[in-house]
């Protein structure tokens, strides 16, 4: 753009930046999964954490664990279908990995392993239930605010 042709005032620049920020918020809100889908997926992860922690050699805990995998996969598929209906296509290869996402994933995996280790050492069902609750809360928070973290980290 040539300076002589179109001079831009500071008020016009601020208005343009505000409209870009509003458009970015609309895009982030449209890509975020609905709250019921987030809660369903997070509760399935919490149940999976408890089932993995107390998994004894019987088919009940194994089927609970596989059922929670199935529910998580259905939640992800429903979210992708919902985005495709809106006209947004996701590419798995283009997933943006952030520091907060890595920390959330490491914390979830640590709680999964610790629920099993502490249960084997103590035999108490209390610790896998606490780990499952924490995993539910972490995943809910990460999925609900994760896209906002990505936007803030890019800016």
Range(s) of the domain holding residue 79: 33-154
Q: Is residue 144 part of a domain?
A: yes
pLDDT in tens, 24-34: 777 767 777 78
Q: Is residue 43 part of a domain?
A: yes
pLDDT in tens, 72-86: 888 888 888 888 887
| Residues in CB range of 30: below 8 A, 6 or more apart | 86, 88
pLDDT in tens, 105-133: 899 999 989 998 998 898 888 999 999 99
Nearest partner of 89 among 130, 31, 137, 139, judged by Cα: 31
**pTM, whole model, 2 decimals?**
0.71
Q: Is residue 90 part of a domain?
A: yes
Q: Is residue 70 part of a domain?
A: yes
Q: Is residue 4 part of a domain?
A: no
Q: Is residue 11 part of a domain?
A: no
Q: Is residue 139 part of a domain?
A: yes
- Report how far residue 63's alpha carbon sits from residue 152's, in angstroms, rounded to the nearest whole number: 40
């Amino acid at each position: 753009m040539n300076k002589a042709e179109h001079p831009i005032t500071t008020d016009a620049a601020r208005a343009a930046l505000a409209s870009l920020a509003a458009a970015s918020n609309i895009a982030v809100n449209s890509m975020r999964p609905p709250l019921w889908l987030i809660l369903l997926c997070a509760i399935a992860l919490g149940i999976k954490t408890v089932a993995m922690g107390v998994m004894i050699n019987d088919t009940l805990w194994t089927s609970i664990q596989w059922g929670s995998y199935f529910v998580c996969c259905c939640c992800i598929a429903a979210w992708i279908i919902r985005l495709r209906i809106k006209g947004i296509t996701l590419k798995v290869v283009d997933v943006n990995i952030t520091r907060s996402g890595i920390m959330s994933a490491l914390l979830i995996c640590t709680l999964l392993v610790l629920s099993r280790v502490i249960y084997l050492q103590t035999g108490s069902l209390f610790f896998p239930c606490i780990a499952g609750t924490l995993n539910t809360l972490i995943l809910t928070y990460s999925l609900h605010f994760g896209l906002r973290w990505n936007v803030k980290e890019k800016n």
